Structure 1
Amino acid sequence: MNLLRAADKGCLTAAEAVAAGELFGISGNATRVALARLAAAGLVDAKTRGSYRLGQAGVALDNEVSAWRSAEARVVPWSGRWIAVLTTGLPRTDRAAWRARERALSLLGLRELQGALFVRPDNLDGGVASVRARLASLGVGAETPVFCADQFDDALDQQARQLWNADELMRSYRDGCARLTQWLAGAASLPEGIAAKEAFLIGDHAIRQLVFDPLLPDPLIDAALRRRYRDTVIAFDQQGRAIWSTFLAAARARTTVSAA
């Protein structure tokens, strides 16, 4: 799915996927099996024979994942209120549905406060209605209660504020800025295949961190440092996309020559 974002017009051929997999020591057969499983899950669709694009389920997930670039625009001042989601009564026997629900809660920065009660600061534009809609788009049923909570006692409020490790988050922002900036400075001297592999691994880690970033407000974290890290990741992602576009174009050209 990450490769589909870098592919020309959002379309990835099996040959391009196999060439990319080989960079990471993944066999062509394993890559094709992965594509088939993604297709079975509705995350990708076969556009033509041997050519894939995001499927309906993949588009919904990709829309949420891809929003990391503009996520700061969703942040509003925090009044101290919380958005709460109560998952009591939701079935756990359906493992696929349970995993999708856990992923959705994590994507929106929700953490479990007490038995099945998940919370996050109410500092996102649109408040409860927006969070409810985003959870629904990610497969969390409409029957799930999503509401605002603003009368925690002092002890519970302090417990909620400590659900996220702010020191670890800020350290990851600082270290990430340094690591990405250093790689970008030396990227031009790397062979094409090595540059593509490293850009994927380093960029994927950085983007995943931002995708699952809880977007905490200033009283809980240094939001300016988070914004600086996001700007650095955006610059890295632009360079990484250019590298992968070149790599996939070369793989496509080799396939065309072989077929001829």
Structure 2
Amino acid sequence: MPTICAVETQTPNAPDLVLDLLQAGDRSLSGRALCRAGALLGHRETTMRVALTRLLAARKIRRESRGSYLLHHPGATLLGELKAWSREASDEVAWQGDWVAVHDAGVPRSDKTSWRRHHLALSLRGFAPLAAGLRIRPCNRAGGLRAERQRLADLGLSKQARVFLLSGLDERDAKVAAGLWPTKALADGYRHLSQALAQHRRLLPRLPEEQALRETLLLGRTAMGRLARDPMLPAEMMAPRQRDKLVMEVRRYDEAGHALWSRWMEGA
């Protein structure tokens, strides 16, 4: 795992890299440009070509013209999920003490792919386990229960799961529920990541071009992944200051990285 400004990052596999680049660019990209970008991350051209073929077969991308590709479903990526998260963060509603709950004790574990998608949906929406087979999160997102149920379904929640509103917890259970999220660790992590992004953004003009390209993608992807999985807890449970600072720093860093990658891609 490459470490950048004291932050551990993870190199995306070839399919994820293709999806992220197409989402970030908001336009079609040539296979040549995508292969060139893959080389920066250590992926061979054959690996990138195989990824393109498989993504086409899975209908995750489509051809715009000969040798150029577009996302088939914009938003169905890490960056797309972050954009959806950003819209919801601005529409966060006051928390009334109720919880969105998911009961999934009856969800079959035999289909491992479906089970992973089910758990990823819960993770991306900030759910935490209150009891065996029962996960909850505060009901403080715009649209309430109905919107949450739809977002979970869109992300791959099992149809066997039950999504409902939970209220009226006694004092003991309410205290347990409020303590399910490691709020101090989250705040400390966001503070550390904000500082790393600011530090690296200042370093960019002095870095060799290929190093700057590679590191902005890796560090930016790490920051976006953290935000996409932020539970968006209400102020009653976690002060939003560090999260808001990270959001602001991610936007600044994304602008710098986007400009860098756009110039480089134009030469591909």
Fold conserved (TM > 0.5)?
yes
The alpha carbon displacement at 1:72 in A equals 1.9
* Structure 2 Cα separation of the partners of residues 41 and 65 of structure 1: 22
* Structure 1 Cα separation of the partners of residues 82 and 61 of structure 2: 15
Closer/same/farther in 2, CA of residues 116 and 105 from structure 1, 3 Å limit: same
Which stretch shows the higher mean deviation, 153-162 or 173-182? 153-162
Where do 4+ consecutive residues of structure 1 move more than 6 Å?
Answer: none
Amino acid at match of 1:2: D
* Structure 2 Cα separation of the partners of residues 46 and 59 of structure 1: 17
Sequence identity (%): 35
Residue in structure 2 matched with residue 209 of structure 1 by the alignment: 226
| Deviation string, structure 1 residues 19-46 (Cα, Å, up to 9, x no partner) | 1111111111111222223233332223
Tell me, what secondary structure is at the counterpart of 2:267? Answer: helix
Count of residues paired in the alignment: 249
Using the size of structure 2 for normalisation, the TM-score is 0.86
5 Å-filtered alignment, 1:118-129, equals 118-129=135-146
| Deviation string, structure 1 residues 180-239 (Cα, Å, up to 9, x no partner) | 111111212222211111110110000100011100111221212211110111111111
Residue in structure 2 matched with residue 256 of structure 1 by the alignment: none
5 Å-filtered alignment, 1:1-260, equals 1-7=19-25, 9-56=26-73, 59-61=75-77, 63-141=80-158, 144-251=161-268
Over aligned residues, Cα RMSD in angstroms?
1.9
Which stretch shows the higher mean deviation, 164-173 or 90-99? 90-99
Q: Is the 8 A contact 2:114 2:158 kept in 1?
A: no
* Structure 1 Cα separation of the partners of residues 208 and 178 of structure 2: 46
* Structure 2 Cα separation of the partners of residues 86 and 201 of structure 1: 35
Q: Is the 8 A contact 1:68 1:207 kept in 2?
A: no
Amino acid at match of 2:41: F
* Structure 1 Cα separation of the partners of residues 174 and 159 of structure 2: 27
* Higher share of residues assigned helix: 1
Using the size of structure 1 for normalisation, the TM-score is 0.88
* Structure 2 Cα separation of the partners of residues 89 and 40 of structure 1: 32
Consecutive unaligned residues of structure 2, counting only runs of 5 or more, are 1-18
Closer/same/farther in 2, CA of residues 44 and 234 from structure 1, 3 Å limit: same
The alpha carbon displacement at 1:141 in A equals 4.8
* Structure 2 Cα separation of the partners of residues 249 and 157 of structure 1: 54
Tell me, what secondary structure is at the counterpart of 2:168? Answer: coil
The alpha carbon displacement at 1:92 in A equals 2.2
Q: Is the 8 A contact 2:101 2:164 kept in 1?
A: yes
The alpha carbon displacement at 1:146 in A equals 1.4
Amino acid at match of 1:217: P
Q: Is the 8 A contact 1:84 1:147 kept in 2?
A: yes
* Structure 2 Cα separation of the partners of residues 162 and 40 of structure 1: 44
Q: Is the 8 A contact 2:104 2:160 kept in 1?
A: no
The alpha carbon displacement at 1:76 in A equals 1.7
